[in-house]
Amino acid sequence: MDTITKAKKAAGEKAASLVQPGMLVGLGTGSTAYWAIEKIGQMVKEGLNIRAVATSIASEQQAIALGIPITSFSEIQQLDIDIDGADEISEDLQIIKGGGGALLREKIVAHASRRKVIVADERKYVKTLGKFPLPVEIIPFGWELVFKSIQSLQGAPTLRTREDKPYITDNGNYILDCMFGAIENPEQLHHQLKAMTGVVETGLFINLKPTVIIAYENGEVKTL
């Protein structure tokens, strides 16, 4: 296991330690959230009684394989805690997510949770958002029009693909990965993008007031 993977594992396990008996838990998606789910699965096997909502099909399958009881928003209204990763976290704790393609479900779960916990390795913690391309989930029909609209905002969008075909989210949508340079006003950009017809959601997670757990290659883990 390399140092970055060890750091992700440390961050995920630190977050999992915040889960208490009886909680309703949001399970995130991605390479760091993976380790939180693994640890929670171990805790469940040792007797922890919880229920969870997963933010992607992949995370749900992982949780089921570990014996974590899965529920849905048809049965519950709010979660106690949501543990998820990030692609970038700025110094004022604004976030870009969606590199794993689950940004829409991740945002639904985050906003339904009393406490948001973001886990990441040190590479994701930045002064200003924007080095990582901003994922924007869009409907497939007329996606070219959204592409051109984002260009008019001085963005540089790229249609995400997999095996030379458009990447399809768990919701049946496309994703545009957009370079805007340094994002000085993420809230304004989020609202500009959401106003475009055909845009479903953006990967800007604004004003969540999260607990952020950063793991470093030297083994240190900090809570922000």
Catalytically active residues are: 106
**32 marked among binding-site residues:** yes
Query: Do 84 and 117 contact (CB within 8 A), yes or no?
Result: yes
Rounded CA-CA distance 218/4 in Å is 9
Q: Given the structure tokens 């080095």, which residue do they identify?
A: 131
Name the 3-class secondary structure at 174: strand
**87 marked among binding-site residues:** yes
**29 marked among binding-site residues:** yes
Rounded CA-CA distance 177/170 in Å is 17
**30 marked among binding-site residues:** yes
Rounded CA-CA distance 129/191 in Å is 16
H/E run at residue 11: helix 3-16
**22 marked among binding-site residues:** no
Binding residues: 29-32, 84-87, 97-100, 124
Binding residues for substrate: 29-32, 84-87, 97-100, 124
